[in-house]
Amino acid sequence: MTQACGCEHSANHTAATTEKVNTDKADAPWWRDRGLLLPLSAGILLLTGLSVSWIASGVLADVLAPALFWASLLAGASQFVPSALRGLLRTGRLGIGLLMTISATGAVILGHVEEAAALAFLYSIVEALEDRAMDKAHSGLRSLLSLIPPTATVLADGQGHEAQNRRSTDTIDVEVSALQPGQILRVAAGQRLATDGIVRSGSANLDVSAITGESMPVRVGPGAKVLAGSIVVDSALEVAATAAGTDNSLTTVVRLVENANERKGQRARIADRLARPLVPGVLVLAVAVALLGSVFADPAVWIERALVVLVAASPCALAISVPVTVVSAIGAASRVGVIIKSGAAFEQLGTVDHIAVDKTGTLTQNRTVVTDILADDSAGAKADHTVLQLAAALEAHSTHPLAAAITQAASTIDDAETSEVIEHAGSGISGIVGGQHVAVGNPRWLDPGALQPQVAELESAGKTVIVVQRSGVTIGAVALRDELRDEAPGVVKQLADEGYGITMLTGDNTRTARTVAADAGITDVRAGLSPQDKAAAVAQIAQRNQVAMLGDGINDAPALAAADVGIAMGATGSDVAVESADAALSSDNLELLPRALHHARRGRAIINQNIALSLAIIVALLPLALTGVLGLAAVVLVHEVAEVFVILNGLRAGLLKTQPAAETKIYCLSDCTQS
Q: How far is CA 528 from CA 273, 355, 429, 512, 534, in A?
A: 44, 19, 28, 10, 9
| Residues in contact with 419: Cβ distance below 8 Å, sequence separation at least 6, in sequence order | 431, 432
| Residues in contact with 209: Cβ distance below 8 Å, sequence separation at least 6, in sequence order | 215
Torsion, Cα of 448, 454, 456, 459 (10° steps): -110
Cα 135 from Cα 127, distance rounded (Å): 12
Q: Are 409 and 392 within 8 A, CB to CB?
A: yes
Cα 153 from Cα 170, distance rounded (Å): 10
Beta strands in 513-628 (DSSP E): 524-526, 547-551, 565-569, 583-585
Other CB atoms within 10 A of residue 175 CB? 12
3-state secondary structure (DSSP) of residue 263: coil
Q: What stretches of 28-112 show up as alpha helix (H) in DSSP?
A: 34-55, 59, 65-77, 81-91, 96-109
Compute the 3-state secondary structure of the chain and give helix, strand, coil in percent, each to the nearest 5.
55, 15, 30
Other CB atoms within 10 A of residue 342 CB? 21
> What is the DSSP track for 179-224?
--TTPEEEE-TTPBPSS-EEEEE--EEEE-HHHH--SS-EEE-TT-
> What is the end-to-end Cα distance of the chain in Å, rounded?
56
Q: Are 68 and 113 within 8 A, CB to CB?
A: no
Distance of CA 89 to the CA centre of its chain: 39
Cα 253 from Cα 524, distance rounded (Å): 33
Q: Which of 135, 196, 207, 358 is catalytic?
A: 358
Torsion, Cα of 215, 219, 223, 224 (10° steps): 0
| Residues in contact with 509: Cβ distance below 8 Å, sequence separation at least 6, in sequence order | 527, 528
CB-based burial label for 236 (10 Å; 0-12, 13-18, 19+): middle
Considering only CA atoms, which of 24, 11, 25, 22 is closest in space to residue 177? 11
Q: Are 463 and 481 within 8 A, CB to CB?
A: yes
Question: Would you call 575 a catalytic residue per the annotation?
Answer: no
Considering only CA atoms, which of 478, 473, 427 is closest in space to residue 450? 473
Paired residues of 220 in beta bridges? 204
Q: Which amino acid is at 244?
A: A
Paired residues of 419 in beta bridges? 432
Paired residues of 547 in beta bridges? 354
Q: How far is CA 160 from CA 41, 156, 218, 606, in A?
A: 58, 7, 32, 55
Cα 430 from Cα 566, distance rounded (Å): 45
Q: Are 387 and 473 within 8 A, CB to CB?
A: no
What is the set of active-site residues?
358
